[in-house]
């Protein structure tokens, strides 16, 4: 039986869509490195107006794939069972975030034909997913995995190596590193736990 991997979507597979819309709305040119908090929308003065506008756009029309993700996921899919575990909850508009579900689904099914759509999981609390390996940009989403890989993003760069080690977490700065961790013959992921 193949080992199971849960892969996060936003800021792991895709990048830039939310930031693009923040910049378009504010008529600014922020970069990811201008933020420390996960919640980029905190810089928007009137969040109610912003999210009314935001809901009329599809952020996946403006995002890019993170470098090498397509190639590495395709390789991984031959050796592992891949699950996409992605949140569709925006804390500021919890009751209205269902509009993200079809956007996420359409993007995934059209972009990654080799992934099984039955393995697309849309949820807020990822701790219920017990996979052998989890790849996410948030530490709290790695619970429930034997092998935990934190994908580097603007909001987690300052998490110390000591904190990661204490929680049994490996950091990956890019998909090439994930490929080396999970596909190279010399790596024994069972030693990480």
Q: What is the pLDDT along the chain (193 residues), one digit of tens a residue?
A: 899 999 999 999 999 999 999 999 999 999 999 998 889 999 999 999 999 999 999 999 999 999 999 999 999 999 999 999 999 999 999 999 999 999 999 999 999 999 999 999 999 899 899 999 999 999 999 999 999 999 999 999 999 999 999 999 999 999 999 999 999 844 555 454 4
What end-to-end distance do the CA atoms of the chain give, in Å? 20
How far from 17 is each of 54, 63, 115, 178, CA to CA, in Å?
11, 4, 22, 23
Cα–Cα distance between 51 and 137 in angstroms, integer?
A: 23
What's the whole-model pTM score?
0.93
Cα–Cα distance between 23 and 124 in angstroms, integer?
A: 26
Tokens for 65, please give them: 């794939």
DSSP 170: E
CA dihedral (126, 157, 39, 103) positive or negative: negative
**Nearest to residue 148, comparing CAs of 136, 134, 159?**
134
């Amino acid at each position: 039986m193949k080992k199971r991997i849960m892969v996060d979507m936003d800021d792991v597979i895709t990048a830039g869509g939310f930031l693009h819309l923040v910049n378009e709305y504010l008529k600014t040119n922020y970069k990811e490195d201008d933020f420390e908090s996960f919640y980029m929308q905190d810089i928007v003065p009137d969040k109610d107006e912003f999210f009314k506008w935001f809901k009329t756009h599809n952020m996946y029309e403006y995002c890019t794939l993170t470098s090498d993700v397509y190639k590495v996921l395709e390789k991984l899919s031959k050796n592992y069972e891949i699950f996409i575990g992605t949140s569709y909850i925006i804390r500021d508009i919890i009751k209205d975030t269902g509009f993200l579900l079809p956007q996420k689904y359409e993007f995934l099914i059209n972009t990654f034909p080799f992934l099984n759509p039955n393995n697309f999981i849309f949820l807020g609390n990822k701790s219920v997913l017990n996979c052998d390996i989890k790849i996410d940009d948030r530490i709290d989403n790695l619970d429930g995995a034997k092998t935990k890989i934190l994908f580097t993003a603007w909001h987690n760069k300052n998490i110390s190596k000591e904190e990661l080690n204490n929680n049994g977490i490996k950091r990956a700065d890019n998909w090439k590193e994930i490929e080396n961790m999970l596909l190279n013959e010399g790596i024994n992921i069972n030693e990480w736990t």
